[in-house]
Amino acid sequence: MDILELYIKSFSAIFGLLVGSFLNVVILRVPRNQSIVKPRSSCPKCHKQIKWYENLPLVSYILLRGKCSHCKAKISWRYPLIEALVGLISLLLAPSSLNIEAWLNYIFYFSLACVFLAHFVIDVEHQLLPDKINLFFLIISIPYVLINFPLYHWLVGGLIGFLGPLGVTYFYYKLRGQLGLGGGDIKFFGILGLILGPVGILNNIFMSCMLGSIVGVVMILSKKLDKDVPFAFGPFIIIVASLQIFFPEVVELISPVGL
């Protein structure tokens, strides 16, 4: 590793930690319809505002031993975990040179990973894929697909991704009087279709449904989930999409119709 690559990787890791800290704010506030800009972060128990030097990614958590400096309440391990994870993702995705095209790809894929992570955590906690995050996902996806894919790929993929789950949800509602998927899931599928294309989004729909069904059955049989209580489906879409985009060779081994 030469000195330039070392600087680039170090910068990308630090940048990822900072973005991870901001992503914690997004995950906490967006599902509650709160501003991600103000007020400043505060302790969820005593509500004392956190000073800037107490909010340094990873470092502050370690120095404070995972406790609020004022009331000594425990700080959730989720915050440093997300910071570390986003820092690692940034480090792994960052190119080793100053090539402009490589950095543009980094911006897209790093942003995509942040969208996936935020959606995953929020859906697990709130059974919700927020429109604000889906809108950001759409904004970063449009220029990417226009530059990299032909019209057929993103147009047909987007239509299948949106209309397919929408149709299934409609018929499920007619049969059982319940929504099989939330509006956020349907929009998320539609935007994913732009990137994955027609075959890729069909694969995602099939494999995420299979994965969700398997996990759901196991949880019901183990009495960890009531069969009449809905549970988050977004994480399964995200797991499959992450494999398709970041580890396509894995999907090739298990996909029924290729990528």
Q: How far is CA 144 from CA 40, 107, 213, 227, 240, in A?
A: 33, 10, 32, 40, 20
Q: Compute the distance between CA of residue 109 and CA of residue 99 in angstroms, rounded to an integer.
A: 16
Q: Are residues 245 and 117 part of one domain? A: yes
Q: Per the structure, how many domains does the chain have?
A: 2
Q: Are residues 173 and 46 part of one domain? A: no
Of 166, 160, 167, the residue nearest 191 (C-alpha): 160
Beta carbons within 10 angstroms of residue 193's beta carbon: 30
Last residue of a domain, one of 82, 98, 114: 98
Last residue of a domain, one of 98, 128, 153: 98
Q: Compute the distance between CA of residue 85 and CA of residue 77 in angstroms, rounded to an integer.
A: 12
Give tens-digit pLDDT for 117-167.
Answer: 999 999 999 999 999 999 999 999 999 999 999 999 999 999 999 999 999
Q: Are 113 and 26 in contact (CB under 8 A)?
A: no
Give tens-digit pLDDT for 49-90.
Answer: 888 888 889 999 998 888 888 888 898 999 999 999 999 999
Distance spanning both ends of the chain, measured CA to CA: 34
Q: Compute the distance between CA of residue 29 and CA of residue 33 in angstroms, rounded to an integer.
A: 6
pTM for this model (two decimals)? 0.92
Q: Are residues 185 and 115 part of one domain? A: yes
Q: Are residues 160 and 238 part of one domain? A: yes
Q: Are residues 140 and 129 part of one domain? A: yes
